[in-house]
Amino acid sequence: MYSCDDGFLNDYHLVHLGAFALRGAALTMVEATAVAPEGRISPSDSGLWKSEHVPLHKRVVDFIHSVDGKAGIQLAHAGRKVGDGRRFGDRIPAECGNTDSDRLQASTYPPWHKADARSTAAESDGGWPTAVYGPSDQPYPGLNEVREMTVDDIRVLVHRFAQSARWADEAGYHVVEIHAAHGYLLHSECRAPISNTRTDEYGGSFENRARVLVEVFRAVRLNLPAEKPIFVRISCTDWIDGGWDLEQSVRLAAELKGLGADLIDCSSAGLDPAQKFDPFSGF
């Protein structure tokens, strides 16, 4: 919720999340929490990439438990999609990093900065313009340049998810959810043929495009107690020609179930701003 400093939870999260549990929510899920500092959607997002983060996560979890609730955490990496604040209308104030440069930086400014096309944070504002990577060197439309991940990068990513899962367990979370939706790294990297144009073992066929998510899931499963549920959030369709679709989602869900997934959290879209869908009554 754009309230962290260096990924650390604080009083805001205790009040915000604790209020849901206090009012009877059976399961309260912590926001998308980065497994690496450069994996945050914004410089103010929550993190679980170092052991020092654990005590403040435990503080929130302990309160939720104290009112008979359960706590879950969503582990994430934003990948190539660092956000675009143009939808919020106005320009970034000068004190928030607004310049005349045409080059977009990583990551996103909080939405109350009312950003235009220059919505992503410069290094001077805590961003990471040289550490943006994705499945291929194709940027999210309108955002900053992307470096294609190497196989070693992918191995590091898998390790980071596994380590963050161990820390989540140490903090006392009842559920761990892997965020593989909305155009973030495990969506664009794993599945979407539009953004994943690799020709190695991580691109091309369905099996190859799903490989990173499968490797991440297996690593997370191995690093959590057998009785601890794992959810996986996916975008079931990209709402764009040539994108990920429902048929592939059903196939992926079956594979994840076979690996031990307890719940598939179904969402949609987020890969490309060209997405089109027709809302209807009850949509």
Q: Mapping DSSP to helix (H, G, I), strand (E, B) and coil, where does residue 244 land?
A: coil
Q: Dihedral (C-alpha) 268, 222, 49, 109: value to the nearest 10 degrees? A: 0
Instruction: List the one residue out of 41, 29, 34, 39 whose CA is nearest residue 8.
Output: 34
d(CA 40, CA 30): 14
Contact 78, 184 (CB under 8 A): yes
- Residue 274 has a pLDDT of 62
pLDDT in tens, the chain (283 residues): 678 889 999 999 999 999 999 999 999 999 999 999 888 887 888 999 999 999 999 999 999 999 999 999 999 988 776 543 332 333 333 443 444 333 333 344 555 454 444 455 666 665 665 667 776 666 666 666 777 888 899 999 999 999 999 999 999 999 999 998 867 788 655 556 666 777 788 877 878 888 899 999 999 999 999 999 999 998 777 667 767 677 888 888 999 999 999 999 887 655 666 666 677 787 6
Active-site pick, 109, 133, 140, 184: 184
pTM of the model: 0.78
Task: Find the farthest-apart pair of alpha carbons in the chain and give their distance in angstroms, rounded.
Answer: 53
Domains and CATH numbers, the chain: 11-81+148-267 (3.20.20.70), 83-131 (no CATH)
Contact 242, 193 (CB under 8 A): yes
Tokens describing residue 134? 């994705």
- Residue 276 has a pLDDT of 67
Q: Does 184 qualify as catalytic in the annotation? A: yes
Tell the burial category of 76 from Cβ atoms under 10 Å away from its Cβ (0-12, 13-18, 19+).
buried
Q: How far is CA 158 from CA 95, 212, 218, in A?
A: 37, 8, 9
d(CA 15, CA 8): 15
